[in-house]
Amino acid sequence: MDLNQVFNTPHPAIGVIHLLPLPTSPRWQGNLNAVVARAEQEAAALASGGVDGLIVENFFDAPFTKGRVDPAVISAMSLVVQQLQPLVTLPIGINVLRNDARSALAIAACTGARFIRVNVLTGVMATDQGLIEGQADEIMRYRRQLGTEVAVLADVLVKHARPLGSPNLTTAVQETIQRGLADGVILSGWATGSPPSLEDLELAKAAAGDTPTFIGSGADWENIPKLIQAADGVIVSSSLKRRGQIEQSIDPVRVGRFVESMQRGLAARLELPQNRSVPIHS
C-alpha cells in the first residue's frame, strides 16, 4: 500500500467519524438526517484540524453483531459517505462493526471510498460478540470479484478481544500480511482509548517490514510524538472529542493540537540516528 498515493503523505493521521445509531440498532432514534448532519459536522472538524483521511464507522450501533449487518445499515452508511464526499477532499475509509468486511468492501466499491478496516482478518478472537473467525479468503476473493483496489487495513490481536491460544505478535503480523494479504496492519491497546505500547509497535513494525503499520487506538497529543516513532500512521478519534468524552462530537481545536504534536514527533524521528534497529517505512 502506497500511503503517499492514498493520503498524499507517508505518515497519515486518520480521523474516525463515529456515526450516531443507525437504523435497526438498539439506540436508533429514527432520524437519518440527524446522523448525516453529525457526520458532516465531524468531517468538517477533522478536515479543518488537518487530518489526512477519514474512517466512517457505525460505532454507536453497539451491541454489535459478529456477522453480517442489516441491509439498512449498509444503505445508511453508503448515504453518509456520499454526503461527505462533496464536503471534504480527504480519502475516506469504511469500518462496519463488528467485523462485516464484506459489507465494508461493498460500500467502498460503490461509493469510491479508498480503504476499509477489518477487526479480524485472520485467526480466531474471543470477543463480547462471541468467537469471531477471520475470513481473509472470502474478503480477498470478494474484492477481486468487485474489481476494486480498495485497500484492506487489518487489526492484529484487535482490542476488546483475546486470541484463542497463546498470542505471538510477530507471527500474527506476518500471517495477517503474508497469508491474509492485508495491505496494512493496525495495532491497538486492549480497549477503545487504550494505546499500544511502544515495544509492541516496534515488534509489529519489524514484522511488517514495508507494509504500513498503524496505531489503532489510544493516541493523543501527549503520547503521539513517542508512538509515531515506531509506526507509519495513526487512526484516532476518542482524544479528539470535546472534553475527551467519547459520546461528544469532534473538536477541531483538539484535532489541530493532535496534528501539530504528531508533526513534532515526525520531525524528531527524522533526527534519530540512522542505525536504529527498528526499520522505518517512508
What does the DSSP assignment read for 7-49? HSSSS-EEEEEEPPPPTTSTT--S-HHHHHHHHHHHHHHHHHH
The SS3 assignment for 119 reads coil
Residue 281 lies in a domain: no
pLDDT tier at 272, thresholds 50, 70, 90: low
pLDDT reported for residue 273: 56
pLDDT in tens, 177-218: 999 999 999 998 876 778 899 999 999 999 999 999 999 999
Residue 182 lies in a domain: yes
Decide if 116 contacts 151 (C-beta within 8 A).
yes
Residue 74 lies in a domain: yes
pLDDT in tens, 38-57: 999 999 999 999 999 999 99
pLDDT in tens, 117-136: 999 999 998 888 889 899 99
Residue 11 lies in a domain: yes
- Cell readout for 277 is 534497529
Residue 278 lies in a domain: no
Strands 124-127 and 161-163: antiparallel
Q: What is the CATH number of the domain that holds 214?
A: 3.20.20.70
Is residue 170 within a helix (H) or strand (E), and if so which, with residue range?
helix 169-178
Q: Is the pLDDT of residue 172 over 70?
A: yes
- Domain boundaries, position 147: 3-267
Is residue 122 within a helix (H) or strand (E), and if so which, with residue range?
none
pLDDT in tens, 151-170: 999 999 876 778 786 678 99
Q: What is the mean pLDDT of residues 129-153?
A: 95
Residue 137 lies in a domain: yes
Residue (of 121, 129, 134, 190) closest to 159 by Cα position: 190
Q: What is the mean pLDDT of residues 262-275?
A: 78
Residue 87 lies in a domain: yes
Decide if 279 contacts 268 (C-beta within 8 A).
no
Number of domains making up the chain: 1
Residue 29 lies in a domain: yes
Q: What is the mean pLDDT of residues 230-258?
A: 95
Percentage of the chain lying above the pLDDT 90 cut: 83
Decide if 130 contacts 66 (C-beta within 8 A).
yes
Q: Is the pLDDT of residue 236 over 80?
A: yes
pLDDT in tens, 66-119: 989 999 999 999 999 999 999 999 999 999 999 999 999 999 999 999 999 999
